[in-house]
Amino acid sequence: MQLWSRVLAALPQSRMLIGAMSDARSQERIRAVFGAAGVAASRVVFHPRMPMQDYLALHHQVDILLDSHPYPGGTTTNHGLMMGVPTNARVSDSVVSWQGAATLLRLGLTQWVAHDDDEYVRLAHQWATDLPALASLRAGMRQRIDDNPLRQPRVVAAGMQAAFREMWTRWCAGRPVEAFTVTL
């Protein structure tokens, strides 16, 4: 939350929307973290857990998703992308930190992946203050996702088939287990 607080401090007109948060004590603790960074409590807006359709519609109130770190939201990232909302991701040395970023990178959204805290804040500021570029990106997001090979069942099936064939070939040859790459 300290990182999110830095983003909000860098963007004084912005606000943070946090979903699936009904507990008043949790809300107060979160507001206190933001408050310690100089972010007014009124800029942190909470929504309770809601039906999926309402949750997805809530994305129309969001310009940019801020991924959590070091444990990102893979499903949240995908929901946002399907609704045309890109995610500002932060990666580190841990494998799990790459979950959301891997999706962004697969879609060619390298400019949304930060490798340190300062870059994370800079990228959020850059996109939030370049609304024409953000609007253009958002307008083409659904098509970008639909064009991705991972959304094409035949391509994915061919990749799985190639992986299974490679594993079987290696096993039959008595080779040790080791990593390999299958290109889609």
Domain boundaries, the chain: 2-146, 152-184
**Which residues of the chain register pLDDT less than 50?**
none
pLDDT at 155: 86
pLDDT at 106: 86
Contacts of 7 (CB under 8 A, 6+ apart): 14, 66, 88, 120, 121, 124, 125
Quote the pLDDT of residue 122: 96
> Which pLDDT does position 112 carry in this prediction?
94
The pTM for the full model equals 0.79
Q: Residue 101's pLDDT is what?
A: 86
Which helix (DSSP H) or strand (DSSP E) does residue 166 occupy? helix 153-172
Predicted confidence (pLDDT) per residue in 76-95, tens digit? 888 999 999 999 999 888 78
Asked if the bond preceding 70 is cis, omega within 30° of 0, the reply is: yes
Which pLDDT score is estimated for 9? 92
pLDDT of residue 129: 94
Domain 2-146 matching CATH 1.20.1090.10: the answer reads no
Alpha carbon 148 to chain centroid, angstroms: 17
